[in-house]
Amino acid sequence: MLYGTPTARRRDAQRNRAAIVLAASEVLTGPDPVALMPEIARRAGVGQATLYRHFPDRQALTTAVLEHQLDLLAEAVAGPAGEPCQFRRLLRSVLHTQIAMRGLVALVRRLDVPTRRRYRQRALTALSGPLRRAQEHGHVRADLVPEDLALLFTMVQGVAEATADAAAARAAADRSVDLMLDGICLTGPDRPAHLPPGAADT
């Protein structure tokens, strides 16, 4: 009884794991992901031995944070953010998360190519349904395809990494996001919906 029941230990382990993933997500929005593991352990309120028991290396932690972020995207798409009129806001949120988590992007590049492609495809799949519905309701240009979203991710990341000045990079990336969305979205704060031919009759 000194160490608790197996069920209690499992619950503690699950709580610790969740706390580590959340702490890692916070750290990866900061400017210095170099001291990743010690800072994550501190923020999660666990010892480094506990952290390494759950995630033996940075690759394991990187994939866990990616899974967490993709789960958050799936939840957003399943809710109000997935509605046709919200696609611009949804995509803007995704791109701004990418900008904020520069540390995660740097770590993702260390993953093997098949793994990177798998996670990219999960993100594109999650956004494909909202994109199609937004196009059907005249909110997004009809010639946009899911792979174009991957191009947007690459372009924004290029802007974000154009300078070592984190504040300047973020400002430039933020500006590039707005310009890109203006180019692909047919509606916005000052734009009426542009319905495709026949849409008003459906």
Lowest-pLDDT choice from 28-42, 87-101, 135-149, 161-175: 28-42
Residue 192: its pLDDT value, please? 45
Q: How many residues does the chain have?
A: 202
**In the predicted model, is pLDDT for residue 11 greater than 90?**
no
Task: Between 187 and 50, name the one with better pLDDT.
Answer: 50
Sign of the Cα pseudo-torsion (177, 178, 179, 180, in order) = positive
Arithmetic mean of pLDDT, 57-78: 93
Would you place residue 34 in the very low, low, confident or very high pLDDT band (cuts 50, 70, 90)? low
Give the pLDDT of residue 187: 74
Please report the pLDDT score of residue 188 as a whole number. 64
pLDDT at residue 16, as a whole number: 94
Report the pLDDT averaged over residues 54-72.
92
Question: Mind listing the pLDDT tens digit for each residue in 102-142?
Answer: 888 888 889 999 999 999 999 999 999 999 999 999 999 99
Mean pLDDT of the chain: 85
Confidence of residue 30 (pLDDT cuts 50, 70, 90): low
Transcribe 138-192 into DSSP letters.
TSB-TT--HHHHHHHHHHHHHHHTS-S-HHHHHHHHHHHHHHHHHHHBS-BTTB-
What percent of the chain lies above the pLDDT cut of 90? 58
| Tens of pLDDT, residues 133-183 | 999 999 999 999 999 999 999 999 888 888 777 788 888 888 999 999 999
The yes-or-no verdict on residue 198 having pLDDT over 80 is no
Q: In sequence order, what are the residues at sequence separation of 6 or more whose Cβ sits closer than 8 angstroms to the Cβ of residue 174?
A: 96, 99
82's tokens: 């997935």
Q: What is the pLDDT of residue 137?
A: 95
Rounded Cα gap, residues 78 and 169, in angstroms: 32
Mean pLDDT of 76-81: 93
Distance CA 131, CA 141 (A): 10
- Contact indicator for 146, 123 with CB cutoff of 8 Å: no
C-alpha closest to that of 149 among 101, 79, 94: 94
Question: Which CATH code fits 1-56?
Answer: 1.10.10
The conformational region for residue 87 under phi > 0 = left, psi -120 to 50 = alpha, else beta, is alpha
Task: Write the CATH number of the domain with boundaries 58-201.
Answer: 1.10.357.10
Q: What is the dihedral of CA 66, 68, 70, 75, to 10 degrees?
A: -170
The reported pLDDT for the residue numbered 147 is: 94
Q: Where are the domains of the chain?
A: 1-56, 58-201
